[in-house]
Amino acid sequence: MTPSQNRPVAVVTGASAGLGLALAQGLAERGWSLIIDARGADALKDAADQLAAKTDVVPLAGDVTDAEHRADLVDAVGELGRLDLLVNNASYLGPSPLQPLAAADLDELRRVYEVDVIAPIALAQALIPELGKANGIVLNVSSDAAVEAYEGWGGYGSAKAALDHASAVLAAEHPGLAVYAVDPGDLRTAMHQAAFPGEDISDRPEPAAVVPALLALLDSRPASGRYRASEFAPAEAS
């Protein structure tokens, strides 16, 4: 589908489920054109079918750690002719149950860093030229594990801490962009369930619950930095 002229464009990684899909749906409802990716082709197609009822969507199945897949995402941006927002949402938790850092499988740890740190930096490198033309936004999904020391979270948490710092450096190097590392809070997602195997996480909010706060962040465009989504949560009517 050819996007409507002047419609803003977002790349959202890890968009077949969870927070990625919920945010893509929120952007679609606002008329954004979307380029979405995920590793699972079938789940991504299902997500794209949902989104296509609301907006133009380009689904590209693949792994963000794969340079050829990232090149495909960049080519899709080129075909649409602009980029206003890059959402680095795709993440890898590591093995479930979580491993103590002193006993962590180093191959798994490398995979965590490849997905959660290297791939977002690589996508930013490739897409900053287009983002710069639009004075665009980079939104890197972080975690409270980046700033709190939780047992078992050493790999994922340290990777998200590295992503936070990389976000701050990108912001310093590209002052025309808004670069955010955002902690969405605990959500009812497959990844969060994997972190707590066998536990009931039904008390956590659904990913859609945090989307209004993320959209409020995008609308208000504060200074680049690290934020909690709860800081932008709309006030509840009394």
Sorted by where each starts, the structural domains of the chain and their CATH numbers stand as 9-223 (3.40.50.720)
The per-residue pLDDT for 185 is: 83
Mean pLDDT of 97-125: 97
pTM of the entire predicted model: 0.94
pLDDT in tens, 172-218: 999 999 999 999 988 777 777 777 788 787 888 788 899 999 999 99
> Is residue 85 over pLDDT 50?
yes
Mean pLDDT of 82-91: 97
The per-residue pLDDT for 238 is: 42
| pLDDT-derived band at 4, boundaries 50, 70, 90 | low
Least confident of 82-86, 92-96, 135-139: 92-96
> Is residue 112 over pLDDT 70?
yes
Q: Torsion angle, CA of 65/89/187/58, rounded to 10 degrees? A: -100
The per-residue pLDDT for 189 is: 78
The per-residue pLDDT for 235 is: 67
The per-residue pLDDT for 237 is: 45
| pLDDT-derived band at 141, boundaries 50, 70, 90 | very high
